[in-house]
């Protein structure tokens, strides 16, 4: 009996050990935790371990000053940590290399960056554990010395090359650069995060690890359309014609459960940081070109057909509507006609009253007007349809540039906000003091992304 009990205990211990998810973090000084008072406890891998708890084992294989390049001044390939990382039997590998490759001494070899990255990835992909591999974009450098880690090189050379590699290898990418771009205060020496910065990094990677995924869903296979495939910042993009309209769908590397999606109304690819951040989190991004129908009944009809095709192909029943500038007309006129099909809206310096649209000829054509004098009495804009819009009870987020010279906030977003609130609707406005109509969005889209995640039920809270 005693022998059987010992065997059972041993069996349980083996099962517990085998159930542990092993996470391997490779990188340079930021991964190691350089400049932190206690790297062993405060580096982002160490904090990730605390967040994930006992069913995970997070290992830190960071080496200060290491490059991804084989010919770099301190190549990660030649380090003991690289060999130990290969032997760690990882289930998940986070790769954070590229910042040191932006130094002048290493830039001469950047033509070899993509090949070396492919080789590094494959050295882990071929391991018996077949790990999930996630690439991290380098965080910004706020150094002004162009001989050192120079941010323009990171942005214009390292990041595009890294996204190309991710696209070729069908791997996930996490945009750490945008997350830090407005937080120079998190980096006292201009290149290494402090404790607040490493804590935010750990939380972002925690979200990556724990988010539920539907890896089997592929909308390209479900929608029965002939498509041409292209590359949208490292993500597969299907381009096709539907109802004689140009359409696009970008799919994530894996779909979040429930298959959430963002409907970009206008200006495809302009200031895409919010779209990219949501792709990282398993959202799809879609587009159906109805320019310049300005949200009239014809446009709504095309979008109704497109919506039916998308949801029949498996996307969620409620869309996140994204409208920049006159895209605001498109999203809210469709929402007024379909309030039960909207999860939330994100409008950015949005035109919401067509009386202020400058091209009277287009207005006359789109709305069957016989005279430009009729434009002043038009009641076909979101500003006129607030009662229908708020019936959907969905939250709305607006960005508003206070000095917008193209779309007067007082006649559009601010008046719309007043009307929505008067009817009990949910709307939040983020003001951008001193900004004009351009640029749209935010360099760090976190406030927009957090709003959308919360509105759609995909927000991942800190663990207790």
Same domain, 51 and 73: yes
Distance between CA 131 and CA 94 in Å, rounded?
10
Same domain, 119 and 220: no
Same domain, 233 and 175: no
Pairing label, strands 235-242, 213-214: unpaired
Residue pair 31/25 in contact (Cβ under 8 Å)? The answer is: yes
pLDDT per position as a tens digit, 238-268: 999 999 999 999 999 999 999 999 999 999 9
Residue pair 349/437 in contact (Cβ under 8 Å)? The answer is: yes
| Structure tokens that stand for 287 in this block | 């587009």
Which residue, 152, 185, 210, sits at the end of a domain? 210
Alpha helices in 281-346 (DSSP H): 297-312, 327-337
- Point out which residues pair with 93 in neighbouring strands: 24, 133
Look at residue 73 and tell me whether its pLDDT is greater than 50: yes
Cis peptide before 439 (omega within 30 of 0): yes
Mention every residue, 6+ apart, whose C-beta is less than 8 A from residue 443. Answer: 178, 181, 182, 273
Reduced to 3 states (helix: H, G, I; strand: E, B; else coil), residue 165 is helix
CA 439 to chain centre: 18
pLDDT per position as a tens digit, 257-313: 999 999 999 999 999 999 999 999 999 999 999 988 999 999 999 999 999 999 999
CATH number at residue 170: 3.40.50.1110
Same domain, 222 and 189: no
Alpha-carbon radius of gyration of the chain: 25
Q: Would you place residue 13 in the very low, low, confident or very high pLDDT band (cuts 50, 70, 90)?
A: very low
Length of the chain as a residue count: 464
pTM attached to this predicted model: 0.93
Residue 10 lies in a domain: no
For residue 8, give the DSSP letter. Answer: H
CA 201 to chain centre: 15
Same domain, 222 and 178: no
Pairing label, strands 342-348, 92-96: unpaired
Domains held by the chain: number: 2
Structural domain boundaries, residue 426 = 215-456
Q: What is the pLDDT of residue 2?
A: 55
Average pLDDT on 69-94 reads: 98
Mention every residue, 6+ apart, whose C-beta is less than 8 A from residue 447. Answer: 430
Which residue, 210, 228, 253, sits at the end of a domain? 210
Closest CA to 224 of 285, 312, 307: 312
Which class for 340: exposed (0-12), middle (13-18), buried (19 or more C-beta within 10 A)? exposed
Look at residue 206 and tell me whether its pLDDT is greater than 80: yes
CATH number at residue 312: 3.40.50.1820
| Structure tokens that stand for 56 in this block | 């995970």
Q: What is the pLDDT of residue 17?
A: 47
Which residue, 210, 235, 258, sits at the end of a domain? 210
Average pLDDT on 430-450 reads: 96
Average pLDDT on 143-164 reads: 96
Look at residue 205 and tell me whether its pLDDT is greater than 90: yes
Distance between CA 302 and CA 288 in Å, rounded?
8
Q: Rounded to the nearest 5°, which phi and psi values hold at 429?
A: -120, 125
Q: What is the pLDDT of residue 18?
A: 53
Residue with tokens 């009809």, as numbered in its chain: 301
Half-sphere exposure of 387 (CA within 13 A, CB side): 3
Q: What is the pLDDT of residue 6?
A: 52
């Amino acid at each position: 009996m005693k022998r059987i009990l010992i065997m059972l205990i041993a069996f349980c211990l083996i099962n517990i050990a085998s159930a542990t998810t092993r996470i391997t973090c490779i990188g340079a000084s930021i991964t190691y935790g350089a400049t932190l008072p206690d790297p062993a406890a405060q580096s982002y891998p160490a904090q990730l371990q605390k967040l994930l708890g006992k069913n995970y084992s997070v290992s830190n294989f960071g080496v200060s000053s290491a490059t991804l390049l084989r010919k770099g001044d301190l190549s990660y390939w030649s380090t003991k940590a690289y060999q130990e990382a290969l032997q760690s039997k990882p289930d998940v590998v986070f790769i954070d290399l590229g910042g040191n490759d932006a130094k002048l001494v290493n830039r001469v070899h950047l033509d070899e960056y993509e090949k070396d990255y492919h080789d590094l990835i494959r050295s882990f992909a071929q391991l018996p554990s077949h790990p999930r591999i996630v690439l991290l974009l380098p965080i910004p450098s706020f150094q002004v010395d162009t001989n050192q880690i120079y941010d323009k090189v990171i942005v214009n050379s390292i990041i595009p090359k890294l996204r190309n590699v991710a696209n070729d290898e069908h791997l996930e990418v996490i945009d750490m650069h945008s997350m830090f771009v407005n937080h120079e205060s998190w980096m006292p020496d201009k290149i290494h995060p402090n404790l607040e910065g490493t804590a935010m990094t750990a939380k972002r990677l925690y979200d990556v690890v724990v988010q539920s995924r539907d890896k089997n869903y592929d909308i390209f296979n479900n929608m029965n359309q002939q498509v041409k495939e292209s590359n949208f910042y490292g993500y597969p993009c299907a381009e096709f014609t539907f109802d004689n309209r140009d359409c696009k769908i970008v799919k994530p590397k894996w779909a979040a459960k429930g298959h959430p999606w963002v409907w970009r109304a206008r200006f495809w690819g302009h200031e895409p940081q919010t779209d990219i951040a949501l792709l990282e989190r398993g959202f799809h991004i879609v587009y159906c070109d109805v320019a310049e129908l300005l949200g009239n009944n014809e446009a709504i009809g095309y979008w109704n057909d497109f919506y039916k095709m998308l949801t029949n192909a498996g996307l969620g029943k409620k869309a996140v509507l994204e409208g920049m500038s006159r895209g605001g007309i498109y999203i809210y006129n469709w929402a007024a006609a379909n309030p039960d099909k909207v999860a939330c809206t994100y409008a950015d310096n949005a035109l919401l009253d067509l009386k202020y649209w400058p091209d009277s000829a287009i207005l006359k054509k789109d709305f069957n007007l016989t005279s430009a004098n009729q434009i002043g009495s038009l009641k076909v804009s979101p500003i006129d349809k607030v009662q229908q819009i708020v019936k959907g009870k969905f939250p709305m987020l607006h960005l508003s540039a206070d000095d917008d010279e193209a779309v007067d906030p007082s006649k559009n977003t601010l008046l719309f906000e007043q009307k929505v609130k008067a009817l009990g609707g949910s709307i939040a406005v983020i003001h951008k003091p001193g900004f004009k109509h351009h640029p749209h969005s935010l360099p760090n889209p976190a406030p927009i992304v957090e709003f959308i995640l919360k509105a759609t039920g995909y927000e991942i809270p800190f663990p207790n």
